[in-house]
Structure 1
């Protein structure tokens, strides 16, 4: 690993908006003894992050790796970025979309601990012939995202955020919401939820009250005070007592759902608030 503790990260097929999210994560890491910086592929990076949801990106990554191997250059560890739960790429770590800063840094730290530190020769790039790397890149013609000004597909359905520390509840909610929305973002902690709410526009937020760290009431207050102040927040609770309702009203929530969820009530709530969102849009 480099003596200055700067770990270089190459990107293949990562969209511009996600590049910006990664840059925020790496800027945050600059305050730590071990930091991360984005590196162009014309210099061999220590780690590669690949858009695993894009076929061209995967193909470019394979060509890049093959080119390095043909020139007896060790392949850097790879991190696959994907929204697919069942994705498996042999020998590569997976990080699930949407990007969460703390999650990105945690996985990169793990890769460094398990691979780069134990095999420090992997990350030493000074002796790699630059011409070799440039030729590999030209062969791969690696897929990248369109520029910010380029045309993008029009999103016709809304995006919803579900915040719950229970994996079964998150999976249940995601499956139930899929037919109504274009995307369901999932967060298992208040910190993750606030980070997502600060950079995304949500039509609806489902928020568990009891969470590790910041509770649902405080998260709701923060969301309602920020850029998502007009976004309906539905609190999820196992016991909606009068005291809970008072605290919920003070936090600014729009309504409650009792767990386990009643299917009919859930659909009514979703239809009501998403119809309101569509009308407002």
Structure 2
């Protein structure tokens, strides 16, 4: 599954200084799940058009599939514009607005693929929680389950489960909280196997998502310890970027109920909630 995408950007009515600053800012997006490149194309062909507020009357009509970012002076307003940015066109503010455009209007949301975004994208994840929760809700409504795979548990309403997420990555923990919370689960997170073992001594959980590669106790070792604690009927789901048959066997031997690989979509996670 492709979890990165490059978006073409066309400028309209900007000064040479604006264009120079914009170009330098967009180059910083290289290597991100969302990257942007300024191209010499007609505005009707671009994914995103960035235009001066004073030039909007002359701007050709854009398609609904295109995003528009309006540039205005620091003290000028941008009433009625969904996406806007003030001069000077500093890289952080431009990239933040472009990221919102592709998430909210172009509906490209790698944040809903666990393990698909970099730790540096944690600020975007926090700033766009409402938008991403809405996208989670939409994905839940579109989930279809193969009748041959349907179980009594899968047929239940998607809500009310107590979930523990164990992963040393902050961005993964935040993604899981966002997605699973949007599915109606009550989510607790831990950053290590040792912390998880202490947590299950205090509380019971319905599902435990467990990363394999962590400092200290590995996911396999943590799973064995969890099962030794006789954690009632909690289902343990191993979650890792390694999908080899050997890893799957090790996961089963450690007591895991099942095993899914990153990047994991909201649809895939929903089957366990």
TM bin, normalised by shorter chain, reads: 0.3 to 0.5
TM-score by length of 2: 0.40
